[in-house]
Structure formats: structure tokens, C-alpha cells
């Protein structure tokens, strides 16, 4: 019996990371680049990304702050309708099968058929993650939320960046809400290790050699192509 199928049989909540776990690549950078390419009037604002990156690289600034500053540079102040037009196109593209790991889709479907609750947990923003979750049939989406002001994107974070220990807190809230439920969690990065360790079954996808060494004995290693 495969590790994925064993997890499905035991689980009642299936908690999936998005970038690199379900999708083959990061989603935020392509989202921002795609918007910028379609709106050249935003180009004069893009210089603001440079000091944000330098601050992050030199001072070890918070990833959430970097994320917010990038979003604000690329699309801050844009009306919701303009952003939603691009979001719809982006989600259609990112949910095509070529952009997703086939094994991830099989695992999602297996959990759905088993009657498990499907929860998408991502550090990427709610500009597009909830629509990806809806397209893939997730019951709930937990992701980083951004602020709007009077129908225009502010871009500052309305929630903590859903990464590292914040994913642990999200998992703990799910455990409290669904007392007694078994949680099967899927992730692919070092930032996912903490909540994978806390889950009843942690599934680490496509980890490199150094990350595999860091994974504890409770985490199952999966290879998705």
C-alpha cells in the first residue's frame, strides 16, 4: 500500500500546502510579473522592490513585510475590478494540469472520495489562493490576507504571513475545531517541517537531500513528478 493511500485511509482532515506541493512552482512571483507585464503604467513603481529585497537580504527582514512591499509596488492602489480580471486569467492558467503535480491531484481526489475535509493552507495571498482552492474543490482555504481600502488594494497584510510557525498555529486551530480528527498534512519545504511534525501524518513532497535529512522519523517522504 502506498504512503499516500495509507494516509488517506487514516485521515479526516487533509491539509495541503500550495506552492511546490500542488503546483510545480511558486505562484506569487508569476502572479505579480504577469500583472506588471499587462499594466505598463505600473512600471515606474517597480523600483520600490529593490530596497525591499535589499532590506530582506541584508537585515533578514520578515518575509511577510517583503511580500507586502512587493504586492504594493506592483499593484497597490489598483481597483478591485482590475485585479480580479487578471486573477481570473491567472487562476485559469495555474490550475491547468500542466502546472500541477498529477500525484497531488490524485491525492486530493483520494481524500475527497474518503470523505476527508480538504483544507488548503498557503503563505501566498488571498488575492488568488481562495480561487485556486475553489477550482480544486477544497472545502476551506487558509492563506495570507491583504488589506483593501475603499475598493482599492492597499497591499499591507491583514493577517500574519501563513508560513513557518504560523502554519503550526493554523494546524492547532484546526485540531481544536475538529477535536479528535486525524490530520494528514502535505508540504514541500523547510518552512513546512514544523507543522508536518505536528500533524498525525506528515507528508514531505520532493525534498532535496539536505531537507530529507532534517525531516524527522514521523514524516513520510513522497516523490511527485
pLDDT in tens, 69-78: 999 999 999 9
Contact in structure between 157 and 64 (CB atoms under 8 Å): yes
Report pLDDT for 2: 56
What integer best gives the mean pLDDT of the chain?
A: 93
* E strand or H helix at 201: strand 201-205
What is the model's pLDDT at position 61? Answer: 66
How much of the chain, in percent, has pLDDT values that exceed 70? 95
- pLDDT given at position 62: 83
User: Which is more confident, 85 or 7?
Assistant: 85
Per-residue pLDDT at 115: 94
Confidence check: pLDDT of 10 > 70? no
Domain CATH for 178:
3.40.50.1000
Provide mean pLDDT across the span 97-114: 96
Give mean pLDDT, residues 173-182: 93
What are the phi and psi torsion angles at 149 (to 5°)? -130, 115
Domain encompassing residue 147: 3-222
* Number of domains comprising the chain: 1
Pairing between strand 146-149 and 219-222?
A: unpaired
| Other C-beta atoms lying within 10 Å of the C-beta of residue 83 | 18
Q: Quote the DSSP letter at residue 121.
A: E
pLDDT at 50 over 70: yes
What's the number of CA atoms in the CB half-sphere (13 Å) around residue 113? 10
What pLDDT score does 216 carry?
Answer: 87
Does the pLDDT at position 5 exceed 60?
Answer: no
Confidence label for 161 from pLDDT (cuts 50, 70 and 90): very high
pTM for this predicted structure: 0.92
Task: Determine the Cα angle at 120 with ends 221 and 81, to 5°.
Answer: 140
Query: Is the CB of residue 20 less than 8 Å from the CB of residue 188?
Result: yes
**Number of neighbouring beta carbons within 10 Å of residue 210:** 8
Q: Could you tell me the pLDDT band of residue 23, with boundaries at 50, 70 and 90? A: very high
Residue 60's pLDDT band (cuts 50, 70, 90): confident
Amino acid at each position: 500500500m502506498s504512503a499516500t493511500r495509507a494516509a488517506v485511509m487514516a485521515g479526516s482532515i487533509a491539509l495541503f500546502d500550495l506552492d511546490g506541493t500542488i503546483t510545480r512552482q511558486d505562484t506569487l512571483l508569476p502572479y505579480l510579473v504577469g500583472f506588471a507585464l499587462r499594466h505598463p503604467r505600473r512600471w515606474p513603481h517597480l523600483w520600490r522592490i529593490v530596497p525591499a529585497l535589499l532590506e530582506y537580504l541584508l537585515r533578514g527582514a520578515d518575509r511577510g513585510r517583503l511580500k507586502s512591499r512587493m504586492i504594493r509596488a506592483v499593484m497597490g492602489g489598483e481597483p478591485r475590478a482590475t485585479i480580479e480580471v487578471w486573477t481570473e486569467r491567472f487562476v485559469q492558467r495555474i490550475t491547468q494540469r500542466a502546472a500541477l503535480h498529477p500525484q497531488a491531484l490524485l491525492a486530493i481526489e483520494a481524500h475527497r472520495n474518503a470523505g476527508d475535509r480538504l483544507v488548503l493552507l498557503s503563505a501566498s495571498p488571498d488575492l488568488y489562493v481562495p480561487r485556486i482552492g475553489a477550482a480544486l474543490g477544497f472545502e476551506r482555504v487558509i492563506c495570507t490576507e491583504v488589506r483593501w481600502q475603499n475598493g482599492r488594494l492597499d497591499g499591507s497584510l491583514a493577517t500574519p504571513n501563513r508560513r513557518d510557525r504560523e502554519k503550526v498555529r493554523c494546524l492547532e486551530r484546526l485540531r481544536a475545531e475538529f477535536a479528535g480528527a486525524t490530520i494528514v498534512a502535505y508540504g514541500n519545504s523547510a518552512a513546512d517541517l514544523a507543522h508536518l511534525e505536528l500533524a498525525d501524518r506528515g507528508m514531505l513532497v520532493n525534498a532535496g537531500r539536505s531537507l530529507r535529512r532534517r525531516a524527522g522519523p514521523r514524516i513520510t517522504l513522497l516523490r511527485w513528478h
